[in-house]
Amino acid sequence: MAKKLVTDLQVAGKKVIVRVDFNVPHKGDQITDDNRIVAALPTIKYLLENNAKVILLSHLGKIDYKKSEEEIEAAKKKNDMSIVAKKLQEYLPDNKVIFVNATRGAELENAVNGMKEGEVVLMQNTRYEKGESKNDEELGKYWASLGDLFVEDAFGSVHRAHASTVGIPSVLPSAAGFLVEKELKFLGDAVENPVRPFVGILGGAKVADKLKVINNLLEKCDTLIIGGGMAYTFLKAQGKEIGKSLVDDEKLDYCKEMLEKAKTLGKELLLPIDTVVADSFPDPIDGEIATEVVAVDAIPADKEGLDIGPKTAELFAEKVKAAKTVVWNGPMGVFENPILAKGTNEVAKALAETQGTTIIGGGDSAAAIKQLGYADKVSHVSTGGGASLEFLEGNGLPGVDIINEK
């Protein structure tokens, strides 16, 4: 059944708690990329225009409670949400944005109870609460007591069963915001009802990180392209010499199984045919490095594969351009280094030139497509790396599953 959307709620005069994803990169008090704030604006503005009182909850960064008190306090200071409040106010010049430097207690309660319609309260980092990531029942109920309705719009967090993503909607009437709706539509249509040919592209470092994704996409798509570090485990599974390249030896049998499964299903599983090698991984990561291009059957024993080669890039690009649906998760090489970004760049360029639906599955792929300047040339760039990966695996998303049905 379809989930309720924010437009299905009667929000006028109501206190609406919105779980947003304001986990933005920052240096000190300077936000270096505010895309996640911008992505949340349609839902926030809709609520404000419809006379709601908007209470925003988000995490920022990580706080490891296994560390010392000093380290925990330093992490809290580093990940203070006040920097987001200032940026949000710039985007909402006609609405009052009230930052509350608390996650519970009188200061927060007074701010919420004193709100007028069309105002915003942004609460301090949800991870200041130890019980947030444990989905502490009491914490979820407390936060729920602050509002009348709940809207889930943090796609980057819906794969986690936290107090702010699952605990609150366990108590309050709930709906999905516009961002979550958009993410589910693009990813859902691509995986469950794709216009064919459907091409999946997987990259990144380890096979182990994407076991279920490989298996699930192989059943769904017509062609599965594998590049990045994980390709070398597949190449070794085929009996090839891979030198000092990244390898997941415990997954060699799995790779053989997937290669055989592709044949059985009549699917195309494409691996690199040439690769860019060097003596070692670049240090620093964006530093100068001497490379050469070799066929995957001729990788020297003392070299390490760090990017797909030009023939592979051309092969992959041809498949991408001919597709009607493409989902990409994971770069083709060490894209942080300009010398080793050529493979990722060629795939990104092909995606930008594809006439069909093109979806970037968050994380490093999203970073790469933005860094290379193609973000506005693709159909959709997911805001949630982990969540999109879980979705591509065919898993449920706790923060979505809990939302009320229509």
104 is an active site residue: no
List of residues 6+ apart from 389 with CB closer than 8 A: 159, 210, 213, 329, 361, 362, 363
Which three-class secondary structure state does DSSP give residue 54? strand
363 is an active site residue: yes
| Catalytic entry in 203, 361, 363, 385 | 363
Q: What is the dihedral of CA 6, 11, 12, 13, to 10 degrees?
A: -140
CA distances from 334 to 91, 234, 281, 373 (A): 35, 18, 9, 17
| Catalytic entry in 61, 131, 243, 386 | 386
CB 332 within 8 Å of CB 203? yes
d(CA 186, CA 179): 11
Closest CA to 256 of 273, 269, 272, 275: 269
386 is an active site residue: yes
Q: Identity (one letter) of the amino acid at 81?
A: M
For residue 226, the cross-strand partners are 202
| Catalytic entry in 3, 14, 19, 36 | 36
| Catalytic entry in 104, 206, 212, 267 | 206
Write the Ramachandran bin of 335: left for phi over 0, alpha for psi from -120 to 50, otherwise beta.
Answer: alpha
Side by side, the strands of the sheet bearing 274-278 are 292-295, 274-278, 304-308
399 is an active site residue: no
CA angle 119, 123, 126 (to 5 degrees): 150
Residues labelled catalytic: 36, 206, 363, 386
